[in-house]
Amino acid sequence: MAISVKVLDRPHPETTSYLRASLKGMALTFRHIARRKVTQQYPEDQTDLSPRWRGTHRMEVHADGRPKCVACGLCPTGGPANCIRLVGGEDDQGNRYPVVYEIDEFRCIFCGMCQEVCPVEAIHVGRHFENAEYTRDRFVYDLDRLMEQEHPATLLWDPSDPRSE
Amino acid sequence: MADTPATVTLTIDGREVTVPKGTTLLKAATEAGKDVPHYCYHDGLSSPAQCRLCLVEVEGAPKPMPSCVTQAMDGQVVRTESELALDMRKGVLEFYLVNHPLDCPICDMSGECNLQNYVHEEGREHGRSREPKRVFGRDDFGGDVLYYGDRCVMCTRCVRFMSEVEQDHRLTVVERGSRSVIDTFFEEGLEGTHWHGNVVDICPVGALVSKDFLYKARAWDLTHTPGVCPNCSQGCNIDLHVRDNLVQRLKPRENLEVNAFWMCDYGRGNYEWINRGDRLEAPLVREGGSTRAMGWKDALSRLLAGVEGASGKGIRAVASPFSSNEDLAALRALVDEFGGGEIVYRSARAEDEIVLKGFPTLARRRDLAPNGKGADLLGMKRVGGDDATGGLEGVAGHGGIVIVLGDALADQGADFGSAAALYVYLGGHGGPATANAHFVLPTATFAETEGTFTNFEGRVQRFAPALDAPGASRPAWLVLNALVAERTQGEVPRTAAAAFAVAGTKAGPFAGMRYDEIGPRGAVVNETVSLSGD
């Protein structure tokens, strides 16, 4: 096919009036004044999170303040992002517990597998996303920090039916 | 009975197999490629046929037969996966789970547990039992063993190991029915026995667990590398279980010629030294008064010049019986190349041997190093006391070349090698005695390289690298052979196989052996007197 050049018939600045186009544009603008606003005044106005929202992790604790985690090792195994570091050990009562439990929230892809596989309902992804920090290392959440999280767990998990039975 | 055939032919799951007469159905099924689930049966123990899990359907038999004790007969038709056999196993497994606590998340056996595997493959999806499970709690058996009674499936492998193999009746079954538990006699426990770690290995569930390994790592996180136990000259075949570049535990690997299925508690518990940190990571060369780290190429060219300059005054070398045959042969080759000299080694000796009564060719040998025999075969001389100290008077003050390979020189002072014209130290850790060294070269340990050890009876066995060597560490054979090759303008052996061939040229017993023909059971060196008669 031979190469051809298409010449466009462009409006010429000296012979064309823009008045009609300007009025058309302004009409659109004024139409929007009457419409419902879509802009949200975040952070004053908070967004509604989806019921399937999976955000910052939290660790459930027993009444006496111990973490519910038994260091079974399923969450680092099940999760695809290799973001959980877990070292198990024995506490003074002979129970298995996590000596080290760290989640790197940067590595994490928030798949929610850790919550899915947890046999003791200890680790959860939460309804929370505002975890900005000033330094990168603060994004590695250790066990104490995970236990201190106050936001609710995701709605994917129903505490009244923890095993989805 | 003269015309009785020595073999029988039977059909297992539609497949015809021919096995020697007297073979059990379970073994015959393995031959046919079918693994029949079993608990109480173990290759190294008697068969009480009490777990009832290996039941298979035999055509003509009135009811399912326990395959671990039923002998194969000519023309038999066996079905291991028929509806009846599967139904039987499903039923038996359901009974096991009536009282099994299902605490897999906190059980150390999880991931390598036969109950988990069998139930996953053939068991019911949900239990039907609504009764509360019985609870025993855990019991300290002494030694390295903890007993969780709830998890026990009463296969009695541990009881039979202690009575048949270790032949020290420490364990028994007490009570009956669902209340039965394994227990020790009075408060005696397993304390003082030398092979009790094996009951943890043979326990098919998590009832017997190791205190040392308790809650340390999950089974699926560990990589298993075949190796040879470095803790005595028996050379037991082991697997190194590694996580995060650290050895987490040692487990025996089957080799009927050496250790069968067992290993001693001394060897099993003695692995922390392999993980020792503070390693040398780069070649250190002394120039003038100061020591400088440099790359291998620079260090080796300086070393070659140094050795050639000082070789007129004789060489004395110290080797380590923890070095592989390849390392030792390379040292021998280097010493021979530069005029020859005496090579000595030091190794610790225990008071006595600890023999496993049920398998008497296996013992914790007196010689507490894996390759003393290899050093002997390469013409090295053992010096010093039974605690691996002393004996280096001739080397410490030697005025020629001093080469130390692997020996940490822990008992030597800072004046070691001060008179030497050239002092070369190859090893993993520096110390006071390396202060005078002109060259400190970081070498990899046995766990970080490929190689072979020669055990007390002259059996050469291969091991594989389980850990990553730190920094610029290289196998000692590579370093030493590179020096020899530089001098002779020969080719540097770049593989362990080529390095092993050097041993063949340096010691007659190794001649004719090929690295890749050693095989999984090891190969005995060509000595005139061979203890194993292999």
For residue B187, give the CATH number of its domain.
3.30.70.20
In percent, the amount of chain B with pLDDT more than 70 equals: 98
Identify whether residues B439 and B344 lie together within a single domain: yes
Per-chain mean pLDDT for chain A: 90
Distance CA B496, CA B453 (A): 12
Domain-located, residue B253: no
Identify whether residues B146 and B35 lie together within a single domain: no
> Using the beta-carbon criterion (under 8 Å), do B215 and A74 form an inter-chain contact?
no
B101: which strand partners?
none
Domain-located, residue B413: yes
Final residue in a domain of this structure, among B49, B81, B113:
B81
Query: Is 60 exceeded by the pLDDT of residue B356?
Result: yes
Query: Is 50 exceeded by the pLDDT of residue B532?
Result: no
Residue with tokens 């030697």: B398
Nearest to B105 among A90, A94, A119 (CB): A119
Q: Measured between alpha carbons, how far is residue A41 from residues A46, A47, A55 in Å?
A: 8, 9, 21
Query: Quick one: pLDDT band at residue B308, thresholds 50, 70, 90?
Result: confident
Rounded to the nearest angstrom, the minimum Cα separation between A34 and chain B is 60
Identify whether residues B52 and B126 lie together within a single domain: no
Query: Is 50 exceeded by the pLDDT of residue A41?
Result: yes
For residue B453, give the CATH number of its domain.
3.40.50.740
Chains A, B: CB pairs < 8 Å: 31
Nearest to A88 among B104, B138, B215 (CB): B215
Identify whether residues B200 and B66 lie together within a single domain: no
Taking residues B156-171, what's their average pLDDT? 94
Rounded to the nearest angstrom, the minimum Cα separation between A71 and chain B is 7
> Using the beta-carbon criterion (under 8 Å), do B106 and A74 form an inter-chain contact?
no
Contact present, B322 and B315 (Cβ < 8 Å): no
Helix and strand numbers, DSSP H then E, in chain A = 4, 5
Distance CA B348, CA A157 (A): 60
Identify whether residues B349 and B480 lie together within a single domain: yes
Residue B511 structure tokens: 């001649």
Rounded to the nearest angstrom, the minimum Cα separation between A88 and chain B is 6
Identify the closest residue of chain A to B105 by CA–CA distance: A72
> Using the beta-carbon criterion (under 8 Å), do B106 and A73 form an inter-chain contact?
no
Rounded to the nearest angstrom, the minimum Cα separation between B91 and chain A is 25
Residue A93 structure tokens: 């009562």
Identify whether residues B492 and B379 lie together within a single domain: yes
Q: pLDDT tens-digit profile of B66-85?
A: 999 999 999 999 999 999 99
> Using the beta-carbon criterion (under 8 Å), do B216 and A88 form an inter-chain contact?
yes
Rounded to the nearest angstrom, the minimum Cα separation between A95 and chain B is 9
Q: What SS3 state is found at B325?
A: helix
Least confident of B49-53, B184-188, B388-392: B184-188
Query: Quick one: pLDDT band at residue B470, thresholds 50, 70, 90?
Result: very high
Distance CA B300, CA B314 (A): 20
Rounded to the nearest angstrom, the minimum Cα separation between A108 and chain B is 20
Q: Which residues of chain B have a Cβ shorter than 8 Å from any chain A Cβ?
A: 104-106, 110, 138, 214-218, 220-221
**Is A94 within 8 Å of chain B by CB?**
yes
pLDDT at residue B530 in the model:
43
pLDDT at residue A60 in the model:
94
> Using the beta-carbon criterion (under 8 Å), do B105 and A70 form an inter-chain contact?
yes
Domain-located, residue B452: yes
> Using the beta-carbon criterion (under 8 Å), do B105 and A94 form an inter-chain contact?
no
pLDDT at residue B534 in the model:
41
Identify whether residues B73 and B106 lie together within a single domain: no
Identify whether residues B34 and B67 lie together within a single domain: yes
Distance CA A21, CA B118 (A): 77
Other beta carbons within 10 angstroms of residue B116's beta carbon come to: 18
DSSP state of A158: -
Q: Which one is the CATH code of A55-148: 1.10.10.10, 3.20.20.30, 1.10.4160.10, 3.30.70.3270?
A: 3.30.70.3270
Distance CA B239, CA B228 (A): 8
Q: Which domain holds residue B54?
A: 7-81
Query: Quick one: pLDDT band at residue B54, thresholds 50, 70, 90?
Result: very high
Domain-located, residue B255: no
Identify whether residues B115 and B60 lie together within a single domain: no
Taking residues A124-147, what's their average pLDDT? 94
pLDDT at residue A165 in the model:
67
> Using the beta-carbon criterion (under 8 Å), do B214 and A120 form an inter-chain contact?
no
Q: pLDDT tens-digit profile of B197-242?
A: 999 999 999 999 999 999 999 999 999 999 999 999 999 999 999 9
Domain-located, residue B340: yes
* Domain spans, chain A: 55-148
Residues in B closer than 8 angstroms to A77, CB to CB, are 218, 220-221
> Using the beta-carbon criterion (under 8 Å), do B221 and A120 form an inter-chain contact?
no
Helix then strand then coil, in percent of chain B rounded to 5, is 25, 20, 50
B208: which strand partners?
B147
Using alpha carbons, select from A79, A152, A84, A163 the residue that is nearest to residue A121: A163
Distance CA B490, CA B477 (A): 15
Residue B206 structure tokens: 């998590």
Identify whether residues B62 and B106 lie together within a single domain: no
First to last CA, chain A: 67
Q: Which site among B106, B116, B151, B222 would you substitute to test the A interface, given the most A Cβ atoms closer than 10 Å to its Cβ?
A: B106
> Using the beta-carbon criterion (under 8 Å), do B218 and A120 form an inter-chain contact?
no
Distance CA B116, CA B112 (A): 8
Identify whether residues B151 and B55 lie together within a single domain: no
Using alpha carbons, select from B274, B306, B331 the residue that is nearest to residue B481: B331
> Using the beta-carbon criterion (under 8 Å), do A90 and B215 form an inter-chain contact?
yes
Residue with tokens 């894996």: B370
Taking residues B277-300, what's their average pLDDT? 91
> Using the beta-carbon criterion (under 8 Å), do B106 and A90 form an inter-chain contact?
no
Per the structure, the count of domains in chain B is: 3
**Is A123 within 8 Å of chain B by CB?**
no
Q: pLDDT tens-digit profile of B361-410?
A: 999 999 999 999 999 999 999 999 899 888 898 888 888 899 999 998 98
**Is A159 within 8 Å of chain B by CB?**
no
pLDDT at residue A102 in the model:
96
Query: Quick one: pLDDT band at residue A73, thresholds 50, 70, 90?
Result: very high
Identify whether residues B64 and B124 lie together within a single domain: no
**One-letter amino acid for residue B106 of the chain:** I
Give the list of residues 6+ apart from residue B36 with CB closer than 8 angstroms, or none. B25, B26, B29, B30, B54, B56, B67, B80
pLDDT at residue B4 in the model:
61
**Is A96 within 8 Å of chain B by CB?**
yes
> Using the beta-carbon criterion (under 8 Å), do B104 and A94 form an inter-chain contact?
no
Residues in A closer than 8 angstroms to B110, CB to CB, are 72
Does ipTM exceed 0.90?
Answer: no
Residues in B closer than 8 angstroms to A71, CB to CB, are 106, 215
Global pTM reads 0.88
Residues in B closer than 8 angstroms to A70, CB to CB, are 105-106
